[in-house]
Amino acid sequence: MNKKWYALYVHSRQEKKVAKLLSMLEIENYLPLQRITRQWSDRKKVVEEPLFRSYVFIRIEESIKEKIRNIDGVLNFVYWLGKPAVIKDAEILVIREFLNEYENIEVQQIAPRLNSTVSICEGPFTDQVGKVIMVGKHKVKVLIESMGFMLLAEVPITKVLNLSTKK
C-alpha cells in the first residue's frame, strides 16, 4: 500500500463539501482550516475557513485517481511537470503544526512573473504548462508549446498556478 499526498483543485467555496464527500467514501483527506473572527454589524463570530481556497489534500494510492476526478466538486488534481503533484508527508505535517501554533494566518499567492513557468488550472487549456510572456493587472499571456506549434493564451491570473516557485 503506497499512499501519497496530492492536492485537489476544487470548485470555489466547496472545499468543506468535497472533504465531507471524501470522508464518506473513506478517502483520507486534509482540509486545513483556520479560525477567523468575523465582524457583523451586531456581533462577532468565529468561523472556520479553508487556509488554501479551492484546495483539498488527499492521501491515496495512484490506482484510484480516476475515481477521485468523478467526485462532485472536484475539478482536477494540481499538476507539476505534466503529472499530479505529489506533496511530501513532511509538508502536510508542517501545515498542521503551523495551524496549531498560529491564528489569523494570511496566505498570499505569488503572482506569476515574466518568463515564469505556469500551469493553467481551468478552462480549455487545463493542465497545460507554459511560459509567461506578458503580465497584466488581471491576466497573463502564456506561451504554450505543443505538438510543434506555439499557442498564445490570455488567461485570468487567478487560473494559473505558478510553477517557478516550486522546488
Question: Mean pLDDT in runs of 10 for the chain (167 residues)?
Answer: 92 95 96 88 89 93 92 89 86 90 74 81 76 82 71 76 62
Same domain, 95 and 140: no
Query: What type of residue is 53?
Result: R
Same domain, 127 and 85: no
Q: Does residue 112 lie in a domain region?
A: no
- Tally of domains in the chain: 2
Q: Does residue 106 lie in a domain region?
A: no
Residue 92: give the domain boundaries. 4-101
CATH of the domain at 130: 2.30.30.30
Same domain, 21 and 80: yes
CATH of the domain at 74: 3.30.70.940
Per-residue pLDDT at 151: 67
Query: What type of residue is 93?
Result: L
88 in Cβ contact with 127 (< 8 Å) = no
Distance CA 158, CA 118 (A): 11
Per-residue pLDDT at 83: 81
Same domain, 81 and 143: no
For residue 130, how many C-alpha atoms fall within 13 Å in the half-sphere facing its CB?
Answer: 25
